[in-house]
Amino acid sequence: MTCLEDYPPEVRAEVGQVRQSVCDLHAELPRWGLVVWTAGNVSQRLHSADLFVIKPSGVRYDELTPESMVVCDLDGNLVDGTRSPSSDTAAHAYVYRHMPKVYGVVHTHSTYATAWAARGEEIPCVLTMMGDEFGGPVPVGPFAIIGDDSIGRGIVETLRASRSPAVLMCNHGPFTVGKDATAAVKAAVMVEEVARTVHMAMQLGDPLPIPQDRIDALYDRYTNVYGQH
Amino acid sequence: MTCLEDYPPEVRAEVGQVRQSVCDLHAELPRWGLVVWTAGNVSQRLHSADLFVIKPSGVRYDELTPESMVVCDLDGNLVDGTRSPSSDTAAHAYVYRHMPKVYGVVHTHSTYATAWAARGEEIPCVLTMMGDEFGGPVPVGPFAIIGDDSIGRGIVETLRASRSPAVLMCNHGPFTVGKDATAAVKAAVMVEEVARTVHMAMQLGDPLPIPQDRIDALYDRYTNVYGQH
Amino acid sequence: MTCLEDYPPEVRAEVGQVRQSVCDLHAELPRWGLVVWTAGNVSQRLHSADLFVIKPSGVRYDELTPESMVVCDLDGNLVDGTRSPSSDTAAHAYVYRHMPKVYGVVHTHSTYATAWAARGEEIPCVLTMMGDEFGGPVPVGPFAIIGDDSIGRGIVETLRASRSPAVLMCNHGPFTVGKDATAAVKAAVMVEEVARTVHMAMQLGDPLPIPQDRIDALYDRYTNVYGQH
Amino acid sequence: MTCLEDYPPEVRAEVGQVRQSVCDLHAELPRWGLVVWTAGNVSQRLHSADLFVIKPSGVRYDELTPESMVVCDLDGNLVDGTRSPSSDTAAHAYVYRHMPKVYGVVHTHSTYATAWAARGEEIPCVLTMMGDEFGGPVPVGPFAIIGDDSIGRGIVETLRASRSPAVLMCNHGPFTVGKDATAAVKAAVMVEEVARTVHMAMQLGDPLPIPQDRIDALYDRYTNVYGQH
């Protein structure tokens, strides 16, 4: 087994930074109401080595420390850490192996996104903020359970066929990706927000559709112009 | 009447620890939105004697202290404490007398679980996290009111016929059990979360069923593998 | 005009205590999600004189101090305070004049209770905690607007015909009463909780009715036995 | 390009005060649950010059400081600040150019208001607090996306035809206005509250209408009498 001491100093330095960042980002999950108890996890891939940092399994959010974060290789094997990695580690690892631009992955069971997932129903793109963030509907991935690569494969195949950084895994909940863990957490926050808002809209009637060319214009502007440069 | 001074020092020491723990765990109930005002209670049974520690009646959460927690025997008689025990004490005591592996009991009126209870309708197992935590649907217990053993008997009979650590008592609310008070509080948090998520799923259509063998696989893995060992 | 300096010292002392208590209790309204911005008010009647203490008009919750609380006589005339009393003062005063056992009144626009009020629909007694706290359904009062005694009269006539300490004023929101302001705040918290829970229950079907003799038994026990004595 | 140093001292002094005030008011948006992540913005126009202060683009709420607030002229050009102005700046500027009594503008994607906007459905005036605050229904503006003046024009044309300080822009979300940023934030809080309450009322039946003369009486009293004078 490889261990972290075998890696060069710049990798160990990046591990330290990413442990801090991933630990801090876990606090965003309860803050935005995305998780209860221990049910959600954030990971970030390193740039200096084929490793990623993820939450330990079954530990509560207010007990997490940077040191308790676990380091794994891209096959999901434990490289450093005194605790077992999250039980969703294999799915995170599969995503990193097959989506080379993804450096952050988040999984939650946030209420409204999971409700859409329980019906196996994609969230239609009826809000301008969905055009901005998701570039279309939020897609549904297959039913799959822990034990082999079927969750990871379902995430990757669904995301590759979509502009969305979020997928609703059937009967399970959302997985989101991004260029780092912060972007994946933002996508997890936004997918719950649009899941909730479109849910409310549909309870009392039919939302108005947004024409595809308007969705394209929103997505293009947001992706290329928005934010600080 | 027996009093705590008649018990050996190790019992009195365990009472002190459990009072602290049960007091702390009451703070989880408002934290996760499970209770308003004084409407919920946590208890934990001792290992060193046939006693349990429970919330005093009608006291608000932010006024609770370890010292204000009440000690009762397994018939629900007051053994130590300056206040009356919770009005649900008889139900907790009945559970401890009849379920020897249970060392923690929680009762709340959490909104969504109580809404299912008001219809007398079990929560179907349509989420992978329900397979994990409950091993199937969350069952409904009979209508019963305070005054005899009918609440406790309804809880025990319903839980014995199910894998679930939670029962929805008809028109009343959830009771949950566990190997200690922490596990019972976790079950109370999770039953509200699944009650809410499945409620939302059913508002806009029909959730997809999960095949029984997949539920069994989820429950088996979660019970035997999950968390830190 | 009478002023507070004309009252004996024991009245001025009670005013000081009640100002503190009423100020503190206003913090419970946002805490339990019953109000936004300035939309809700608490008052308490004195025992030593025909006066009550109420929130000033249009002041935000985190700017309230004991000193900013306003003292009025039972006709709603200002007796002490540098600010205008709440625009609901006439309704509070009417209740105190006509319900001699009431020493606390609360008014909010809490979401679910106000939603029932918008339909002019009473909340059916389908939860054991409603039997405990309300002794039956939560009744609806008439449509009335500020300008004369019609709000106060509507509250009093509706509450006199009911066991409930809460009334849903049509298209407006809940008013609650109690033996002091704390009891009225508790009733305001509980009416929102049962409004929300029964709303959720009814969204997916029909709640099971509770037989009247069981409601009577719950109400009798709760009124006469519950809490610390 | 004009810069802030070219303005007289009283303008620079007002900029400093308004930066502080607009920064503080952004904290109200997450406090009242109106926004997630960076999705919302507040601006206030100056009285001493044709300038306004607005949130920088894509910055998170807890990273905002008075210094990070951006100053623009009424055409939306950057006058002072190290960051890009909010991507909604053109819409705020259009409102200030065409509604001379408006000195505060707020935009959010608050859940319930946005759900009504997704259906393109006005919120009917069925609550006395809606009569008070909005003087009638909350109107819907046209579908428009960023890129020209169509959002600003849609806001202004809709608000001019209504008493309401809030407009629901189709598929997008609410914009609110006021005599300063505080008043616009209050309107943003209130529009979400009435959107939520009327949503809940309509889920289980039909709200009772309020006669127009009663709405007029409520609006007149609230506009002319309410609050501290």
Give the model's pLDDT for residue C229. 43
CA dihedral D147, D152, D154, D160 (to 10 degrees): -170
| B171 vs C contacts (CB less than 8 Å) | 126-128, 207-208, 210
Report the C-alpha gap between D115 and C5 in whole angstroms.
Answer: 54
Residue B132 has, within 13 A of its CA and on its CB side, a CA count of 21
Q: Hey, are the CB atoms on A228 and D56 less than 8 Å from each other?
A: yes
Which segments of chain D have a pLDDT < 50?
Answer: 228-229
Report the C-alpha gap between B87 and C227 in whole angstroms.
Answer: 8
Q: Hey, are the CB atoms on B173 and C228 less than 8 Å from each other?
A: no
* Ramachandran bin of C214, using left for φ above 0, alpha for ψ from -120 to 50, beta for the remaining angles: alpha
Report the C-alpha gap between A176 and D29 in whole angstroms.
Answer: 25
- How close A207 comes to chain D (CA, Å)? 4
- How close D225 comes to chain C (CA, Å)? 9
ipTM beyond 0.85?
yes
Give the model's pLDDT for residue D229. 43
For the domain B4-224, what is the CATH superfamily, name and number?
Class II aldolase/adducin N-terminal domain (3.40.225.10)
Q: Give bridge partners of residue A51 from the DSSP assignment.
A: A73
Instruction: Classify residue A200 as exposed, middle or buried by CB count within 10 Å of its CB (0-12, 13-18, 19+).
Output: buried
* pLDDT > 90: percent of chain B: 89
Residue D13: CB partners within 8 Å, gap ≥ 6? Answer: none
| Enclosing H/E stretch for C122 | none
Q: Hey, are the CB atoms on C147 and D200 less than 8 Å from each other?
A: no
Closest CA to A176 of A62, A91, A60, A71: A91
Closest CA to B32 of B205, B192, B158, B167: B192
Q: Hey, are the CB atoms on B208 and A118 less than 8 Å from each other?
A: yes
Give the model's pLDDT for residue C112. 98
Q: Hey, are the CB atoms on C208 and B171 less than 8 Å from each other?
A: yes
Q: Stretch B151-155: mean pLDDT, rounded?
A: 98
Amino acid code (one letter) for B127: L
| C132-174 confidence digits (pLDDT tens) | 999 999 999 999 988 889 999 999 999 999 999 999 999 999 9
Residue B135, pLDDT above cutoff 80: yes
Question: CB-CB: which of B115, B121, B170 is closest to C197?
Answer: B115
Q: How confident is the model at residue A1 (pLDDT cuts 50, 70, 90)?
A: low
DSSP string, D102-113: --EEEEE--HHH
Closest CA to B164 of B131, B193, B195, B192: B131
Q: Hey, are the CB atoms on A119 and B201 less than 8 Å from each other?
A: yes
Question: CB-CB: which of D190, D197, D225 is closest to C37?
Answer: D190
Give the model's pLDDT for residue A222. 84
Closest CA to D87 of C222, B156, B81, A224: A224
Q: Which of B28-32, C177-181, D136-140 bottoms out in mean pLDDT, i.e. has the lowest?
A: B28-32
Amino acid code (one letter) for A164: S
Question: CB-CB: which of C114, C121, C146 is closest to D127?
Answer: C114
Closest CA to D26 of D60, D72, D70, D67: D60
| D223 vs C contacts (CB less than 8 Å) | none
Question: CB-CB: which of A111, A116, A145 is closest to B217?
Answer: A145
Interface test with C, best of B34, B35, B36, B82 (most C CBs within 10 A): B36
Residue C24: CB partners within 8 Å, gap ≥ 6? Answer: none
Interface test with C, best of D126, D197, D229 (most C CBs within 10 A): D197
Closest CA to B112 of B186, B205, B189, B59: B189
Residue B148: CB partners within 8 Å, gap ≥ 6? Answer: none
Q: Please check whether residue C99 is in contact with residue C92, taking contact to mean a CB–CB distance below 8 angstroms.
A: no
Q: Stretch C17-26: mean pLDDT, rounded?
A: 98
Q: Please check whether residue D118 is in contact with residue A127, taking contact to mean a CB–CB distance below 8 angstroms.
A: yes
Residue A20 has, within 13 A of its CA and on its CB side, a CA count of 5
Q: Where are the domains of chain A?
A: 4-224
Query: Chain B interface residues facing chain C, Cβ-Cβ under 8 Å?
Result: 36-37, 39, 56-59, 83-84, 87, 109, 111-112, 114-116, 118-121, 143, 145-147, 170-173, 199, 202-203
Q: Hey, are the CB atoms on C36 and D227 less than 8 Å from each other?
A: no
Number of inter-chain CB pairs under 8 A, A vs B: 90
Query: Chain D interface residues facing chain C, Cβ-Cβ under 8 Å?
Result: 32, 126-129, 186, 189-190, 192-193, 196-198, 200-201, 203-208, 210, 214, 217-218, 221, 225-229
Q: Please check whether residue D39 is in contact with residue D109, taking contact to mean a CB–CB distance below 8 angstroms.
A: yes
Residue with the larger pLDDT of the pair D145 and A209 = A209
Closest CA to A92 of A62, A123, A66, A71: A71
Regarding beta strands D166-169 and D140-141, do their DSSP bridges make them parallel or antiparallel, or are they unpaired? Answer: parallel
Report the C-alpha gap between D56 and D4 in whole angstroms.
Answer: 17
Q: Hey, are the CB atoms on D127 and C116 less than 8 Å from each other?
A: no
Residue B229, pLDDT above cutoff 50: no
Compute the radius of gyration of chain D from its Cα atoms: 18
Amino acid code (one letter) for C229: H
Residue A212: CB partners within 8 Å, gap ≥ 6? Answer: none
Report the C-alpha gap between A101 and A99 in whole angstroms.
Answer: 6
Q: Please check whether residue A35 is in contact with residue A61, taking contact to mean a CB–CB distance below 8 angstroms.
A: yes
Q: Give bridge partners of residue B141 from the DSSP assignment.
A: B169
Give the model's pLDDT for residue A229. 43
Helix/strand/coil (H/E/C) assignment for every residue in chain B: CCCHHHCCHHHHHHHHHHHHHHHHHHCHHHHCCCCCCCCEEEEEECCCCCEEEECECCCCHHHCCHHHCEEEECCCCEEECCCCECCCHHHHHHHHHHCCCCCEEEEECCHHHHHHHHHCCCECCCCHHHHHHHCCCECEECCCCECECHHHHHHHHHHHCCCCCEEEECCCEEEEEECCHHHHHHHHHHHHHHHHHHHHHHHCCCCCCCCHHHHHHHHHHHHHCCCCC
Q: How confident is the model at residue C225 (pLDDT cuts 50, 70, 90)?
A: low
* pLDDT > 90: percent of chain A: 89
Report the C-alpha gap between A35 and A88 in whole angstroms.
Answer: 15
Interface test with C, best of D112, D130, D200 (most C CBs within 10 A): D200
| A199 vs B contacts (CB less than 8 Å) | 200, 203-204
Q: Hey, are the CB atoms on D228 and C37 less than 8 Å from each other?
A: no
* pLDDT > 70: percent of chain A: 97
Residue D105: CB partners within 8 Å, gap ≥ 6? Answer: D42, D43, D91, D92, D95, D96, D175, D176, D177, D181, D184
Query: Chain A interface residues facing chain B, Cβ-Cβ under 8 Å?
Result: 36-37, 39, 56-59, 83-84, 87, 109, 111-112, 114-116, 118-121, 143, 145-147, 170-173, 199, 202-203
Residue B209: CB partners within 8 Å, gap ≥ 6? Answer: B124, B126
- How close B86 comes to chain A (CA, Å)? 26
Mean pLDDT score of chain C, rounded to an integer? 95
Q: Hey, are the CB atoms on D225 and C109 less than 8 Å from each other?
A: no
Give the model's pLDDT for residue A113. 98
Q: Hey, are the CB atoms on A203 and B206 less than 8 Å from each other?
A: no
| C63-108 confidence digits (pLDDT tens) | 999 999 999 999 999 999 999 999 999 999 999 999 999 999 999 9
Residue B172, pLDDT above cutoff 70: yes
Q: Stretch C18-40: mean pLDDT, rounded?
A: 93
- How close B108 comes to chain A (CA, Å)? 16
Could you give phi then psi for residue A211, rounded to 5 degrees?
-60, 145
Task: Kindly identify which residue of chain D lies nearest to residue C142, measuring between CA atoms.
Answer: D208
| D187-202 confidence digits (pLDDT tens) | 999 999 999 999 999 9
